[in-house]
Amino acid sequence: MTLLRTMPVQDPSSTLLSTEDPAEITKHLAEAGIHYERWNTDRGLADDAGQEEILQAYRSEIDAVSASNDYEFIDVVQMRPAPEDPEWPEKAHAARSRFLEEHRHAEDEVRFFPAGRGCFYLHIGDRIHAVVCEAGDLLSVPAGTVHWFDMGTVPEFTAVRFFQKEDGWVGDFVENSIASRFPTLDQIMAER
């Protein structure tokens, strides 16, 4: 279940709003200028489905998003626990650290989650909106919006990414990021 928690920038320990109702989440995010929508995930995909199968399963929705926003580069990223790989904890830590501090992008950051979980933290005005995305969620972070992303200490998700330019994922990081003062994805899930 998707979750939205809104906190004041000046007080990470207090919660202004917390909801798991998709309609409420859509409404509150729209008020903050953020586009959020849900896609039906009943596509008969196997747990180990690869990039091409995933893209094919969501083809009509993906084509509609791409056409309306000139997204030319679409790919799929997958993070799965791999206990048989002795280097997995290190890889997971490195992947998690990459966008765990505040940054912005030159284009919208559009992600659809066919499976798994990850949390976007959107810094808008004097508020932080933590959006825990799960299977079926599409979130679009507008270009220039300061944000960070936490995939948790045990990352497990599949995300379809949409880019206008091939390097659209490159982040411009903010000095003195406040990200570390806020609850992590693991903490938000534990408090759910």
Name the site residues for Fe ion (rule: CB under 5 A): 109
- Cβ-based nearer residue to Fe ion, 145 or 158: 145
Residue 145 CB, nearest approach to Fe ion (Å):
9
Residue 148 CB, nearest approach to Fe ion (Å):
7
CB atoms inside a 10 Å sphere around CB 160: 22
Residue 149 CA to residue 185 CA, distance in Å, equals: 9
- Cβ-based nearer residue to Fe ion, 29 or 49: 29
Coil, strand or helix: which one is 57?
A: helix
Residue 172 CB, nearest approach to Fe ion (Å):
10
Residue 40 CB, nearest approach to Fe ion (Å):
26
Instruction: Return the residue nearest Fe ion (CB atom).
Output: 109
Residue 133 CB, nearest approach to Fe ion (Å):
13
Cα Dmax for the chain: 45
Pairing state between β 17-19 and 137-141: unpaired
Q: Calculate ∠ Cα 59-63-67, nearest 5°.
A: 180
Q: How far is CA 73 from CA 32, 49, 84, 99, 111, in A?
A: 27, 20, 32, 20, 12
Q: Calculate ∠ Cα 147-35-95, nearest 5°.
A: 35
- Cβ-based nearer residue to Fe ion, 109 or 134: 109
- Cβ-based nearer residue to Fe ion, 39 or 120: 120
- Cβ-based nearer residue to Fe ion, 49 or 112: 112
Tell me the CB-side half-sphere exposure of residue 70, using CA atoms within 13 A.
6
